[in-house]
């Protein structure tokens, strides 16, 4: 779980030189980028190189991203598109011992491929944003109320079981779920205001 104050991207955009935040970013997004590269047909070593190239581009780009001038998604598409193009150029270099498969190079170099990668990263960012909102919500509600919400909304347990577990009426656990959901929606809204799509 990330810091309840913001996602790794929030932290990195505020301070691109934060090494701890960068490590968390790499731990979270690196495997996603690697998996994308493997699905595109890259061999293990090439996928590792590609992952490093995309991460390097993202790290470099973080310091130049201006929230006031553009949207994160548009910036992400541009950075991943450029990273894919650079990767294709790297794999084409004489003496590079990668797969050399021209079909793989074509798959990496097309616009759909870079958009697909950007969409995967964006989905992970949205998942992380929800995790942060949930962590912030936990700080604002009682442990009992969070357990009730978690059991009903996330574990999909029956209201009867949850009510019996907490010595409450069924209507009471529904009321708690509704109240916690309201706080969660508020936290999501706050994060969206801090970091608009």
Taking only the tens place, the pLDDT of each residue in 40-53 is: 777 788 788 878 88
Q: Which of 8-12, 30-34, 107-111, 180-184 has the lowest mean pLDDT?
A: 107-111
**19-39 and 111-140 helices cross at what angle (nearest 10)?**
140
Summarize pLDDT for 127-174 with one digit per residue, the tens: 888 988 999 999 999 999 999 999 999 999 999 999 999 999 999 999
Phi-psi region of 141 (alpha: psi -120 to 50; beta: other; left: phi over 0): beta
Q: What is the dihedral of CA 169, 175, 178, 179, to 10 degrees?
A: -120
Instruction: Say if residue 125's pLDDT is above 50.
Output: yes
Q: What is the pLDDT of residue 137?
A: 96
Return the CATH number of 141-197, one of 3.40.50, 1.10.10, 3.30.310, 3.90.550: 1.10.10
Summarize pLDDT for 94-106 with one digit per residue, the tens: 665 555 555 655 6
Q: What is the pLDDT of residue 3?
A: 47
Domain spans of the chain? 1-132, 141-197
Q: CA-based diameter of the chain, in Å?
A: 72
In 144-155, which positions are buried (b, 16+ CB within 10 angstroms) versus exposed (e)? ebbbbbbbbeee
In the chain, which residue ranges form alpha helices assigned H by DSSP?
8-14, 19-39, 44-62, 72-92, 102-109, 111-140, 143-149, 159-166, 170-194
Question: Residues in the chain, how many?
Answer: 197
Summarize pLDDT for 171-184 with one digit per residue, the tens: 999 999 999 999 99
CA distance 38 to 35: 5
Residue among 25, 145, 15, 142 nearest 76 (CA): 25
């Amino acid at each position: 779980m990330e810091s309840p104050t913001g996602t790794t991207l929030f932290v990195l955009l505020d301070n691109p030189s934060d090494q701890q935040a960068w490590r968390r970013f790499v731990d979270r997004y690196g495997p996603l980028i690697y998996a994308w590269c493997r699905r595109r047909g890259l061999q293990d070593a090439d996928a590792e190189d590609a992952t490093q190239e995309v991460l390097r581009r993202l790290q470099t780009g973080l310091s130049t991203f201006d929230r006031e001038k553009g949207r994160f998604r548009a910036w992400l598409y541009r950075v991943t598109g450029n990273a894919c193009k650079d990767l294709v150029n790297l794999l084409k270099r004489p003496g590079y011992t990668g797969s050399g498969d021209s079909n793989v190079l074509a798959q990496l170099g097309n616009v759909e491929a870079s958009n697909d990668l950007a969409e995967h990263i964006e989905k992970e960012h949205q998942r992380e944003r929800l995790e942060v909102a949930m962590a912030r919500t936990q700080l604002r509600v009682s442990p009992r109320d969070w357990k009730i919400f978690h059991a009903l909304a996330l574990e999909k347990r029956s209201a009867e079981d949850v009510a019996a577990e907490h010595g409450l009426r069924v209507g009471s656990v529904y009321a708690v779920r509704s109240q916690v959901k309201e706080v969660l929606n508020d936290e999501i809204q706050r994060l969206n205001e801090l970091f608009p799509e």
